[in-house]
Each structure stands twice: as structure tokens, then as C-alpha cells.
Amino acid sequence: MDNARTDVSRTPIVAVPGLGLSAEFCNRTLARLSGPSAVVLLPGFGLPAGRDAPRSPAELAKLLLARLDDLGYERAILSGHSASCQIIVQAAAQAPGRVEALILVGPTTDPLARGWPSLLARWLRTAVWERPGQVPLLLRDYWRTGIGAMVRGIDAAREDRIDHVLTAVEAPVLIVRGPRDHIAPRRWADILAAASPHGRAETLSAGAHMLPFTYPDALAACINAFLTASVSPREISRS
């Protein structure tokens, strides 16, 4: 889905939904950002994913870069949510000249919670703070993705060390989370910011894990401020 608007001077922001989620979980925030934007759907991340579908962040990053070619985007600002953060970090590592900045919203996977019991406990502690109005949409998206695809996606994410990959990413990186997000706790966000040569961690004043859908105004304001401060006019030019 392409949300390109009249401001074509800025490099487009390309968002990848979180695992099992649809473009609707990105669009609320993208609509509040300045400049052109698009949502890219990948297997398990907005698209159905069979057993033979690519599942590792590195494999999915290659598909993301190919989709940038399809969109005609030589360069992009990449935005991820939850497990898709690992995909966009891999894309930046694979093609550094094509990524001008990274936005990681509630990134996974904290090495201290890689096991299934720990992941489930953190998810439950976070879910109680989420807005119930999103539940019908979540159930629809998760059902469409399939439980098997969700489990396979989580397993692949658990093996990916986003903190290690970030050390090779020279682009500016924003890590943003909600104060009630136990999936991406503050300590983990700070570790990722420190791992990146140009990283910055922010915690919003409200929200849990589903910030792109539940707190789009606050999230968009944080992203716009980051891009204004971190990406120079020369860098955001599409000429």
C-alpha cells in the first residue's frame, strides 16, 4: 500500500507490520508523518506464510529490499514494529547505502526472554495494558496469518541477535517503546541504542506494545522529531 503524499522532497518511509499484523497497524501512524510513505507486506508480516516461506529476518530482509526495487525507491527510511524490527535492521546491514534511517518500535527479541515461557509471561504482562478495541482486528489478522506461521516466525526471531547486527549499521536509529511494554523493556531499548553507532532510545508517556495503532499521534511526533534532528536536508533529498 502506497501512501505517497505531495511532499516528495523527503526519502519515503517504508513500514513493515509486526508479525501477524496487517497494514492497518501501520497506517494510523504513517498518516501522521510528513512526506511519502508505503507499507510493505511480507510472509508472516501481513501475508500468509506456508511452511516453505522465508522466515528468518535475513531472508525476509532480501524480500524487503526487492520490494523497494518494485516501488522504485532507491533509498528509504525503514520502520519496523515488534519482530519486523529485526527484518529492517538486517536490510540496513545488507544494503547500507539504501537505508537512511531506522525506526524500531517495540523491538524484539531481548536475549533474557528468548525462551517460550519468558516470552509468554512478558506478552501477558503487556497485553493487560493494551486497548481492548484492537482485539477484533488482532484476532482477524492472527487468524489470517495462521498459528503455525506465527509460531515459526517467533522461533526465527528468537534466534536473531538484533543487538549484534546493529553494530554494523551506520544509519541513525530510533528505538521507541511504550512505558507498559514488557516485551521491549527500557533496559533492552537502551542496549540497542548503545549497540548502534548512532542510536537513540525513547519511551513515550503512555502505551504498551501496539503503539503504531493505539498511540499514533505520540509515536508520529517522536518519529518526526527524530528525523528532523538526525537526517540532514541533503540526506532526505530524493534527487
Residue 185 has phi, psi (to 5 degrees) of: -70, 165
Domains of the chain: residue spans and CATH = 13-231 (3.40.50.1820)
pLDDT in tens, 174-205: 999 999 999 999 999 999 999 999 999 999 99
- Dist. CA 47–CA 72, nearest whole Å: 21
Average pLDDT over residues 139-144: 91
Average pLDDT over residues 63-76: 96
pLDDT in tens, 77-135: 999 999 999 999 999 999 999 999 999 999 999 999 889 999 999 999 999 999 999 99
- Dist. CA 177–CA 206, nearest whole Å: 9
**Could you tell me the pLDDT band of residue 233, with boundaries at 50, 70 and 90?**
very low
pLDDT in tens, 12-61: 999 999 999 999 999 999 999 988 999 999 999 999 888 888 889 999 99
Task: Please report, rounded to a whole number, the percentage of residues in the chain having pLDDT higher than 90.
Answer: 80
